[in-house]
Amino acid sequence: MIGFDKEADFEKALIAALQSRGWEKRVLQRPTEQQLIENWADILFENNRDIDRLNHCPLVPEEMEELLEQIKRLRTPLALNGFINGKTVAITRKNPKDSLHYGKEVSLKIYDRMEIAAGQSRYQIAEQPIFSRREKLLQDRRGDLMLLINGMPVFHIELKKSGIPVSEACNQIQKYAHEGIFSGIFSLVQVFVAMNPEETLYFANPGPDGKFNPDFFFHWADFNNEPINDWRRIAADLLSIPMAHKLIGFYTVADDSDGVLKVMRSYQYYAASRISDRVSRNDWTEGKQLGGYVWHTTGSGKTMSSFKSAQLIANSRDADKVVFLMDRIELGTQSLKEYRAFADDADDIQETEDTIALIGKLKSADPRNTLIVSSIQKMSRIREDAAGKMRSSDLESMKSKRIVFIVDECHRSTFGEMLSTIKDTFPNALFFGFTGTPVFDENVRALSTTADVFGDELHRYSIADGIRDGNVLGFDPSMVMVYKDKELRRTVALLEAGAASEEEALADPKRSERYYHFLSEQKIPMAGRWGKDGKYQKGIEDYVPTAQYETDSYQEAVVSDILENWQCMSRNGKFHAIFAVSSIPEAIRYYKKFREKSSALKITGLFDSSIDNAGGQSSLEKEDGLKEMLSDYNAMFGQSFDIGGYAGFKKDVAARLSHKKPYERIGAEQQLNLLIVVNQMLTGFDSKWINTLYMDKVLRYQNLIQAFSRTNRLFNINEKPFGSIRCYRMPHSMKRNIEDAVKLYSGDRPMGLFADHLPEHVEHMNLSSKEMLELFRASGIPELDRLPEEEAERAKFAKLFREFSTYLQAAQIQGFRWDKRLYERTEEGEGEKDFVELFPTEEMYVIFLQRYKELRSSDGSGEGGGDLSFPIDPYLTEQSTGVIDYNYMNSRFEKWKKELDQPGISPEALEETLTELHKSFAFLSQEDQRYASLFLHDVQTGDVELQDGMSLSDYISKYRGDARREEVDRLHRYLGVEEKLVYDLLDANVTEDNINEYGRFDALKGTVIREKAQEYFTGLDGKAMPAFRIKQRVNALLTDFILSGGKEIPSPGDREKENGKSGGREEEGE
């Protein structure tokens, strides 16, 4: 791989590589926004010059302004994606030379997604485009590269040289977006690309109202899901023509449900394109129904992949109809919303209310009826309804059409008569399946594997791939032993020996032999297993009667475990959980127990609501349970659901758990904490807000992975590092089932699938903390009171602390506490106990956190700074150090105070106490360390008199306040600002985002006396300050002062603190 010491050299090399991959040789050098608008106008004219459009008369500025006004109104990348892919745009002709159309509306072709490297498509490179400031007080910027299709800047690329992490390029893009640079013609940018020679990330433009989420910054990969990072391969694959054209035209998705633009991951592209290619090559006269299946792990975006596959087929006109088949009616409703959210026009996706509507849409020649969503149940009834609801000619008309069926979650009950019926009804149709858990020979059902039903595997993206790439989370399964192994084994042994007590069993030789047989772990394991002969050997748990798991004592133990761990597992109620149980009667009983034990937890249940009149007492109990749950739910959330409207209740629960409309910004009082289910919601339901699955049921293979995967959607990795699973029923059998499922669905690559257990996390924390201690000691900083000087040492510390924090966050979810020093490594029944002792203390962690927060600056103060050669996690830098315990520091201070007045104390003893006191300063920021040292110096020189009742932390606060007052006073003297307004802003702890909320920062700037400011900056620079620069310098100084909390400001004549270090890329184009 070729590296670059200079960013400019990398930029030139990338341009050359792009030019060899379909981009034009002529590069637009340092274009302004106006020049790019004129370039777009020229291309629009060339592509629309014929008589029925522009009539050979170029576009005039007023017409381009109309176009830009349309862009301004649309504003977001989501809406502008439709503008770009709409193919044409309408304007009113204002060029008087066009007498044919003057004053009339004309339609202009702007981009055709189907004209890939053909037709009128133009592909240009803009090098170091100039971004004019969007506010007077900001500065002009220069980007690195923009890629233009038909004159529209749709890609923005930021580069960094070798050794600078790609995260710094991401930060720069985010900074530009914050400054409002991506507006005007630049708001057309759809995809951002952050690159250094060794790594590339690409992501959709979140727009002016969106947030940059690193979880959705993607690496490109090859067909086998191996990440591509070499910049030359990125230029040849991702950014090449035709790929870049297709990415904008086909593989970006304007998702109306989330209100954001999305860009597809590489594996989604490969799946959609493979299906599209298979359809384009299909011979519809041969009756080949097996199109193939896509194995993409649960949570990886299969719905979007299947939608894009259908859209590609529809746009290519290689099929007359594309039908999405869902396994359940309610899933049809959920997926219909998703498909309509993805579509260019919601009306492109047709719902089928009943079989009559379905028949009508299948017969229709209207292009709007090309994409259809239906349930498999509805589609399977078409043939039997033919006689009564349509003529046989209608059935033949449907059969004659080229129909593609895409079956979502195709591992489900599609392996049955319904799919066979559909295949018989449409013998020439082509069938494709999407699943995260295919059926193989190992877990075959109905004598058919997924390949038998759908054909060859077209693309695979296993759960191991997803976890490695950070697209889904791993799992942390815990086996909770409600029954102790020894007790359970003894109970089973007595039962199988036919004895009521051990004495009775041992009194009879035959009973004794059988009793000891079941007590032996070697002869009868806790979990059953398959022998080499293919026979199943039952385990102890297989002998336990089901009734043992239905007792009140068992269920109460499960409920108690959930409630005792709730705050920790839910991260203080931030996340929701699902509790899967084995039957509807058990769900109802569990619901009642939760209601009895906890009134604070918001709980409901969801299961099949049909009432069988032949069910007798059980049906009555089910109806009563449904009524109780609905009544409680209505009271909790102000709803009015009843059994007749149970489908609406399901939708409301799903929306509440996933924070979808109308619950996007749901408060704690409206959140549902725990949902009890039997089978529903364990497959096909997505919510990143679910982090825990409690299980009192036994699952295997695809059902197990599907259920576990309800917890593995991405969230902030520091708050949700994995999906947590707690298994209660038959824990040893479940552990075996997990191992079997993982082996089958990880592609024999289980690495990273499961989180380490708590003792392993503690071991990792021990190793990382010891390495950090050694690093500081080797740097001559044994007290940890400042950062190492060398960049390489800081980079190593940053890496170690990020690793330490990751382990800590995971350990805290698993029950870690700082006051607990020993953690048991062994599980029950696995031999002698083994413990891991915690090495770091909470005080040590807080000191390391304080040092980490200071990394961004070169001087260790925690402020400012340009590019770093190592990434900084903003989540960690925002962590509060308010948990610092000042008691130790204050106690050392009190000891030193007493010794100052103690007669006969030796200088050595006094110095030793003072050294201990200085060591405690490591807790403090660099600024507070300065105040503490200054205070102690003043005490020693007699410049300050100690007062009773004041601790060292009180003195630090006093010195900090005095220093702040002095700086505010100086600010008033130098600039004339009103001091009260300065204090108001300082006390509000504002951020860069809200500094001018309610116009408060503008009000402060309004009190600046221009003449004073000019005199101050002239004295500071040692030369006359031009009047036009005064506002800019005042804004920079005040912003820095307020955001830093009142930092020291330079004095006039101090030439060492010369201005001009404004950073960014205004001059160099970095």
Token pair 């291309």 is found at 43
Number of independent structural domains in the chain: 6
pLDDT at 922: 72
> Of the residues 829, 851, 877, which one is the last residue of a structural domain?
877
Report, as an integer, the average pLDDT of 195-217. 92
Kindly state whether residue 894 falls inside one of the protein's structural domains: no
- 788 shares its domain with 703: no
Q: Check residue 942 and give its pLDDT.
A: 78
Tell me: do 1005 and 1068 sit in the same domain. Answer: yes
What per-residue confidence (pLDDT) applies to 624? Answer: 94
Q: How confident is the model at residue 367 (pLDDT cuts 50, 70, 90)?
A: confident
CA distance 626 to 789: 66
User: Residue 982: which residues within 8 A CB-CB, separation 6 or more?
Assistant: 968, 971, 972, 1004, 1041, 1042
Residue 288 lies in a domain: yes
**Of 67-81, 502-516, 650-664, 815-829, which gets the smallest average pLDDT?**
815-829
Are 406 and 347 within one domain?
yes
Which residue pairs from 443-451 have beta carbons closer than 8 angstroms and sit at least 24 positions apart in sequence? Answer: 443/700, 443/701, 443/702, 443/744, 445/415, 446/415, 446/416, 448/415, 450/293, 450/295, 450/410, 450/411, 451/293
Q: Which two tokens stand for residue 742?
A: 């993982």
Q: The domain containing residue 1001 runs over which residues? A: 976-1070
The larger pLDDT score, comparing residue 711 to residue 752, is at: 711
Helix extents (H) in 462-508: 463-468, 485-497, 502-507
pLDDT at 539: 95
Q: What is the pLDDT of residue 395?
A: 75
Shared domain for 346 and 430, answered yes or no, is yes
In this structure, is the dihedral angle defined by the CA atoms of residues 581, 586, 587 and 592, taken in order, positive or negative?
Answer: negative
Nearest in space to 875 (alpha carbons), one of 1040, 715, 1039: 715
Among 324-338, 394-408, 471-485, the range scoring the smallest mean pLDDT is: 324-338
Co-location of 538 and 400 in the same domain: no
Task: Name the pLDDT band for 343 (thresholds 50, 70, 90).
Answer: low
Q: Is residue 409 part of a domain?
A: yes
Measured between alpha carbons, how far is residue 722 from residues 87, 217, 388, 671 in Å? 43, 19, 53, 21
pLDDT of residue 588: 96
The confidence score (pLDDT) of residue 412 equals 60
Higher pLDDT, 735 or 873: 735
Tokens encoding 270 = 């490969």
- Residues 206 and 350 grouped into a single domain: no
Residues 556 and 445 in one domain: no
1047-1053 long-range Cβ contacts below 8 angstroms, 24+ apart: 1047/863, 1047/967, 1048/963, 1048/967, 1049/967, 1049/970, 1049/971, 1049/974, 1050/1020, 1051/970, 1051/1020, 1052/974, 1052/1016, 1052/1019, 1052/1020, 1053/1019, 1053/1020, 1053/1022
Do 492 and 440 share a domain, yes or no? no
Query: What pLDDT is attached to residue 298?
Result: 83
CA-based nearest residue to 480, from 698, 725, 705:
725
- Residue-by-residue DSSP string for 400-469: TS-EEEEETTTTSTTSSHHHHHHHHH-TT-EEEEEESS---GGG-BTTB-HHHHH-SEEEEE-HHHHHHT
Q: Both 500 and 360 in a single domain?
A: no
In a domain, 899, yes or no: no
- With a cut of 70, say whether residue 336 has pLDDT above it: no
Domain check: are 270 and 241 in the same one?
Answer: no
Q: Residue 562 contacts by C-beta under 8 Å, 6 or more apart in sequence?
A: 579, 674, 694, 726
DSSP 535: P
Q: Chain centroid to CA 148: how far? A: 29
pLDDT score at 1058: 44
Average pLDDT score over residue span 939-960: 81
CA angle 585, 589, 593 (to 5 degrees): 170
Residue 755: pLDDT band (50, 70, 90) is: confident
Say if residue 656 is in the same domain as residue 776.
no
What angle separates helix 952-975 from helix 887-901, to the nearest 10 degrees? 100
Residue 659 backbone class (left: φ over 0; alpha: ψ -120 to 50; beta: rest): left
The per-residue pLDDT for 1060 is 42
Kindly tell me if the per-residue pLDDT of 48 is higher than 70: yes
Residues contacting residue 828 through CB under 8 Å, at least 6 positions apart: 481, 484, 485
Does the pLDDT value for residue 33 go beyond 90?
yes
Looking at residues 241-252, what average pLDDT do you find? 93
* Interacting residues of 88 by C-beta distance below 8 A, sequence separation 6+: 107, 108, 109, 110
What is the pLDDT at residue 1066?
39
Any alpha helices (H) in 75-165, and if so which ranges? 77-85
pLDDT digits (tens, 9 = 90+) for 872-885: 666 555 555 444 44
Q: Of 729, 744, 771, at which residue does a domain stop? A: 729
Q: Is the pTM of this model over 0.85?
A: no
Which residue is listed with tokens 């003792």? 759
**Overall average pLDDT of the 532-540 stretch:** 89
Backbone phi, psi, residue 52, to 5°:
-85, 0
Q: Judge whether 736 lies within some domain.
A: no
Among 157-166, 216-225, 810-819, which stretch is predicted with the lowest mean pLDDT? 810-819
CATH number, residue 722: 3.40.50.300
- Unique residue bearing structure tokens 């170091």: 128
Query: Is residue 619 domain-shared with residue 487, that is, in the same domain?
Result: no
The answer to whether residue 216 scores a pLDDT higher than 50 is yes
Instruction: Write the pLDDT tens digit of every residue in 659-699.
Output: 988 998 888 899 999 999 999 899 878 899 999 999 999 99
pLDDT of residue 213: 87
Whether 925 is covered by a domain: the verdict is: no
Task: Residue 703: count other Cβ atoms within 10 Å of its Cβ.
Answer: 20
Mean pLDDT of 820-829: 74
Q: Is residue 740 part of a domain?
A: no
Nearest to 44 by CA among 63, 26, 30, 25: 63
Which stretch of 195-204, 363-372, 498-507, 1057-1066 has the lowest confidence by average pLDDT?
A: 1057-1066
Split at pLDDT 50, 70, 90, the class of 890 is confident
- pLDDT over 50 (residue 167): yes
Q: Specify if 931 maps to a domain.
A: no
What's residue 133's pLDDT? 81
Task: Give the residue-averaged pLDDT of 573-588.
Answer: 96
Each residue of 295-315: pLDDT tens digit? 998 888 888 888 888 888 888
Residues 6 or more apart in contact with residue 657 via CB below 8 angstroms: 576, 672, 675, 685, 687, 689, 690
Phi, psi of 447 (to 5 degrees): 60, 20
Inter-residue contact 729 to 698 (CB < 8 Å):
yes
Distance CA 436, CA 441 (A): 16
404-452 pLDDT tens trace: 999 887 766 555 678 888 898 899 999 999 988 888 877 665 557 888 8
How far apart (Å, rounded) are the C-alpha atoms in residues 8 and 161? Answer: 8
- The answer to whether residue 43 scores a pLDDT higher than 60 is yes
Q: Quickly tell me which residue has 């991506």 as its tokens.
A: 182
Q: Does residue 348 surpass a pLDDT of 60?
A: no
- The 3-state secondary structure of 150-205, one letter per residue: CCEEEEEEEECCCCCCHHHHHHHHHHHHHCCCCCHHHHHCCEEEEEECCEEEEEEC
Question: What does the mean pLDDT of the chain come to?
Answer: 85
